[in-house]
Structure 1
Amino acid sequence: MGDHDRRRAGRGRQSRPGPAGSAPPSRPKVDPARRAAWEVLKAVRVDDAYANLVLPQMLEKYDLSGRDAGFVTELASGALRGQGTYDAIIDACLTKPKLEGKVRDVLRLGVHQLLAMRVPDHAAIATSVELTRDRVGQGPTGLVNAVLRKVASQDLDAWIDQVAPGEPGSAAQLAVATSHPAWVVDALAEALEGHGRDRAELPALLEADNAAPQVTLVARPGLVDEDEMRAAGAEPTGRSPYAWTWGGGDLTSLPALVQGRAGVQDEGSQRVALALADASVEGRDERWLDLCAGPGGKSALLAALAAQRGAKVLANESQHHRAQLVQRGVRSVRDGILGVVTGDGTRPAWRPDTFDRALVDAPCSGLGALRRRPESRWRRQPRDVEVLVRLQRALLVSALDAVRPGGVVVYATCSPVVAETIGVVSAVLRARDDAHLESSWQLWPHTDGCDAMYAATLRRT
C-alpha cells in the first residue's frame, strides 16, 4: 500500500439503476483471476500455505498468464499484505464483526481492489458479490454488497484516519495504518535502534514491507555473462556484482534461468553469500559448508564462486524435501558441489575442524522478508522468536566447531530483530574464547531496496 496506491480522487461511484421497465442487467460471471486469488487466500488461511508457492499452482490451474497473472499476484499478495488494515475497515462497516473466514477473504479482496488498485468501484463490488455467490453461496451476497459500498464511500487515507487508534506515528496507530501486528511494530522499532539507526525511520520501514518487491535475478559467475543478461532485458542493480533486475515478462524466456545458470534471488541473500566468499582465509581454502542450505539459492551462488577457486561446497539441510530443492538448485554448478546431505545441523555427521568456510543462514522469524512473504506477519508470535533463538545459537556453535582454526563463519538471518541477530552472536562469543567477531552489517528494505538481511563474519582462532 504505497503512497501511489492511496490516491483515488475522482473515482467513479456505483451507477444508478436503468429506467423502469428496462431489462435487468445480465449477471456478471466470476472471472478466473478473482477465483484464483480467492483460492490463494483460502489456502493461506486454511492450510497455512505460503502464497508464493500457491500462486504458481493457481495460475496453472486457471491457465492464467501475462496481465491476468499479474492481476492475480497483486490482488492476492496485496490483500494479504493489507489484511490488518482491511480487517479494521471491514469491521467498522459491520454491525456484527464475526464473519466466516471465506466471506472475509472475499471482502479483503474487494477492499484491496477498491482502495489500492485501479479497479472501478462498480466492477470491484459486482465481481465480489458474484465471487461470494460462486464460492460461498447466496446468503452473504447482500452483506458483501453493503460492506463494499460503505468502503467505497471514502479513500484509504480517510479510512485509516477513522480506524487507526492513537496518535499518528504511535505504535498502535502504525500497526493498523501499515497492516502489521503491534508486536512486530515494536520489534522493528527496537531493531532500528539496536542496529544504530533512528527510530524515526520506522514508518518508512513499515511502508517498505508493503511495497511489492521487484524481481531480482542472480547471474551465477562463470555460467552466464553480462551480454546474455542484457539481451534478455535484465539490468544490473549496481550493488551486488551478480544482481540484475527483471523488468517484467515471462521468466521462462531467459534460457539461463531455465537451465539454472541464473536464478531468482534477492540481492540481500546474494550479499550474504558474498560475505562468506569475500572473507580472507589464510592457507587451505578447499571445503566450504552451507549449514542450512534449503532451498538452495545461496548454495548455488557459493558453489559457482567456489568452483572458480578449486573449492567445493557441502550443502546440508535438515528437511529432506528442502534438501531435494537444493539438489535441483545446484544442478548447473556441480563442479563446485561436494555433496547435498540431509542432517541436523546441530548434531553434524562431520568431524570438527573440517571446513575452511561455513555459512549459517539460520531459520528465523522472517520479519525482514515481509515484502516477499506477506502472510508471515500474521503467523509469527513473540514466543516463536524465543524458540528460534535457541536453535540459532546452537547452529552458530556447530558452525564454529566445524571450521578449522583460521577459518571463517558467516551467521545470517532474514530478520533484523535484535534477539536473532546481535543477541545470538554476542551470546555465543561470550561462551567461548576461540572465536571473535570481525564485521557485521544489517540491510533494510526502505534504504537498500532488498530484504532486511543481517550478516556477521566470525573467525575461529
Structure 2
Amino acid sequence: MSGTGNNAGGPGKPAGGGQRGRGKGGPRDTSRRNAQGRERNRGPQRNYTESAPSQRTRRADPARLVAFEVLRAVAQEDAYANLVLPARIRNHRLDKRDAGFATELSYGALRGQGTYDAILSRCVDRPLDRLDPAVLDALRIGAHQLLAMRVPAHAALDQTVGLARAVIGAGPSALINAVLRKVSARSLEEWLELLIAGESDQTRIASLRHAHPEWIVRAMRQALVAHGRPATEIDDLLSADNAAPVVNLVALPGLGSLDEALDDGATPGELVEGSALSSGGDLGRLSSVRAGTTRVQDVGSQLVARALAAVEVPAGEPGNHEAWLDLCAGPGGKAALLGALARERGATLLANEPAPHRAKLVSQALAAVPGDTWQVRTGDGRDVGTENPGRFDRVLVDVPCSGLGALRRRPESRWRRSPKDLADLGPLQRELLASALAAVKPGGVVGYVTCSPHPAETIAVVEDAVKKRDDLELLDAGAALDAASLPGHLGAGHGLTAQLWPHIHGTDAMFLALIRKKA
C-alpha cells in the first residue's frame, strides 16, 4: 500500500493535536443511546480519549470532514470519489494544503479499504458488517492516518474521535477511540506480518499487502502474461495502482497552449507532444482549462487517440474529407482530442453516446473545437454500423469495460467490481466492435480501446472479431503508439496489439488494437 501523506498533525492544526492530560470521569449512564438508537459500546475499554473531558476535540476538522463525506457518498450513493471530492472541497472552502490532505485521506482510505478492514477486524469485538457504516468509514479514515500518513498518532486519534463526536455521536466516538488505540499499537508492516503469518497463498498475501481483492490480483497476473510481461511484475503493478497519480494535461492541437500551465508549475510531458504533468490543485483557475482548450486527460488516452489519427488510410476522392467516428464518446475526453486533430486535417467527427446526460458532456467537451468539425449523436452505438455502413475512415470504439486499468484514479472501483462484470460486459464489447467494423470504409481503420488489461476484454474480443471475417487484418498497434509518442520506445506492443501499464509507462493500463478492413 502507498505510504504517501501529509507532514503535519492535521491541516491547519498544531502537530500536537491537543493536550495529553489524563482525567477521571464519573460513572456514565450506560442505558443512554445515541441518535440512531444504538447503545454505546460496552467493550472493556471505556475511555473516550486520554484527554480530560474539557480538552477533548469536539468539532470536525474540515479536511477530515471532507474525507468522511466522500466515503459516505461512495457507500450510500454509489458515487465516484473523483466526482464528489472537488465539490466537497469547494463547499468547505479548503485551502490548497487542506485540499491535498483531504484528497490523500479520501483516496487512501478508499484504496486501502480491504487491508484496513482486515486490520480493524482484529480490533473490534464484532463482525465489521454489524457496525454502523458511518462508524466503519470513520475507522477507515483513522486507520489510514495512523498507518499510512505522516500524522502523529495522538493527532490522528484526537481529530478522528472529534470528527466522530461531531457528526456521528458521543457513543460511537468511544468505540472509535478504543479501536483506533488498538490499531495504533502496531505499524502497518507489523500488522501485515501478523495478517499473513502462516499464509502460503501468494494471491492472498498480495491482496493484503497491496489492498486489492484477490480476484483482481489473479486477473492482473494473468493479464501481465497474456500481454507478454512476466508474472513477477505483479507486485510492481499493484504498487503502481496505489500510488497517487500525477495529473496529466493536454493542449488541444491547434487550439490550446500549455504556457499558462507551465507557468503555474506544470512540467512538459515526456511521452507525447502537447502534454504536461501537473501537481494538481484547482486547475479550474487556469483560463485555458476553463475555456476547454487545455484538458485533464491521462497520457494513455492521449496516445491511443493520436495513434488512431496517425494511421494511414487510403486517400478519398478529391474534395472528399475524411469522416471519423467516436462510437462510445462519453464523457468526451478522447472526442475533444480527436475533434481537434480532425480539424487540423480537414476531417469531420461524429461523436456517439447513448446516455443523454453523457451526450451533453460530450458536447461540452467539444465546445472548444469549431462547430463545423463535429456533431454529437445520442443513440445506441450498436445501431451506428447498420445505419451508416462503410461511411467512416477512422473509428474509435472505446468500449465500456471493467476499468481495471484505472484503479489508481478510481480508488473505490476495485471494491465495487466483481468477475461477473467481465461476463456481463463481454457481449456488449463484441457487439460494439462489430458495429464499428460495419461502419468503417474498406481500407479504413478501427481502433479498439479498453481501460483494462484483462485478456477477456482485450485480446479475446479482438481475436473473436478477426476470426469471424476474412476482410480484416490487425495492424501493428505497438508501432503506431511508438510513432505517436515523443522520440523513444514505449515497448507496449505484444504481437500486433499493444498494452500500456502504470508501472512501466506511468499511464493508465490502456489497451489498443488497430483493425483495418481490407479494401
Counterpart for residue 343 of structure 1: 379
Q: Return closer, same or farther for 1:23/1:344 CA change in 2, 3 Å cut-off.
A: closer
Which is further off, 271-280 or 413-422?
A: 271-280
Counterpart for residue 349 of structure 2: 313
Alignment of 1:49-68 (within 5 A): 49-68=79-98
Alignment of 1:8-407 (within 5 A): 17-18=21-22, 24-28=53-57, 29-97=59-127, 98-164=130-196, 167=199, 170-225=202-257, 227-284=259-316, 286-335=322-371, 337-348=373-384, 350-407=387-444
Identity of aligned residues (%): 52
Shift of 1:25: 4.0
Distance 2:441 2:370 in 1: 24
- Aligned partner of residue 140 in structure 1, secondary structure: helix
Q: TM-score, normalised by structure 2?
A: 0.84
- Aligned partner of residue 404 in structure 2, secondary structure: coil
Which is further off, 236-245 or 323-332?
A: 236-245
Q: Return closer, same or farther for 1:6/1:218 CA change in 2, 3 Å cut-off.
A: closer
Distance 1:343 1:224 in 2: 30
Q: Return closer, same or farther for 1:132/1:277 CA change in 2, 3 Å cut-off.
A: same
Q: Return closer, same or farther for 1:295/1:19 CA change in 2, 3 Å cut-off.
A: closer
CA contact (8 A) 2:252 2:293 kept: yes
Distance 1:38 1:227 in 2: 37
Q: Which protein shows a greater Rg?
A: 2
CA contact (8 A) 1:164 1:173 kept: yes
CA contact (8 A) 2:157 2:181 kept: yes
Distance 2:369 2:175 in 1: 56
Distance 1:87 1:23 in 2: 30
CA contact (8 A) 2:325 2:395 kept: yes
Which is further off, 417-426 or 97-106?
A: 97-106
- 1:456 maps to a residue whose letter is A
Shift of 1:148: 0.6
Distance 1:367 1:20 in 2: 52
Counterpart for residue 417 of structure 1: 454
- 1:213 maps to a residue whose letter is P
Distance 1:171 1:23 in 2: 46
CA contact (8 A) 1:389 1:420 kept: yes
Counterpart for residue 483 of structure 2: none
Q: Return closer, same or farther for 1:201/1:42 CA change in 2, 3 Å cut-off.
A: same
Shift of 1:13: 12
Shift of 1:355: 0.4
Distance 1:213 1:323 in 2: 27
CA contact (8 A) 1:14 1:121 kept: no
CA contact (8 A) 2:23 2:53 kept: no
Distance 2:53 2:170 in 1: 18
Shift of 1:275: 1.6
Segments of structure 2 that go 5 or more residues without pairing to the other structure are 9-14, 26-50, 477-496
Q: Return closer, same or farther for 1:64/1:336 CA change in 2, 3 Å cut-off.
A: farther
Distance 2:198 2:254 in 1: 55
Q: Return closer, same or farther for 1:19/1:314 CA change in 2, 3 Å cut-off.
A: closer
CA contact (8 A) 2:248 2:278 kept: yes
CA contact (8 A) 1:12 1:121 kept: no
Shift of 1:34: 1.2
Counterpart for residue 428 of structure 1: 465
CA contact (8 A) 1:169 1:203 kept: no
- Aligned partner of residue 374 in structure 1, secondary structure: coil
Which is further off, 230-239 or 287-296?
A: 230-239
Q: Return closer, same or farther for 1:4/1:37 CA change in 2, 3 Å cut-off.
A: closer
Q: Return closer, same or farther for 1:274/1:167 CA change in 2, 3 Å cut-off.
A: farther
Q: Return closer, same or farther for 1:69/1:229 CA change in 2, 3 Å cut-off.
A: closer
Q: Return closer, same or farther for 1:164/1:44 CA change in 2, 3 Å cut-off.
A: farther
Aligned residues between the structures: 459
- 2:118 maps to a residue whose letter is A
Shift of 1:283: 1.1
Shift of 1:242: 2.2
CA contact (8 A) 1:354 1:402 kept: yes
Distance 2:4 2:260 in 1: 34
Q: Return closer, same or farther for 1:188/1:429 CA change in 2, 3 Å cut-off.
A: same
Shift of 1:3: 5.5
Distance 2:507 2:361 in 1: 23
Segments of structure 1 that go 5 or more residues without pairing to the other structure are none
**Superposition RMSD on alpha carbons, in Å?**
2.4
Distance 2:267 2:189 in 1: 35
Distance 2:71 2:431 in 1: 35
Which is further off, 277-286 or 443-452?
A: 277-286
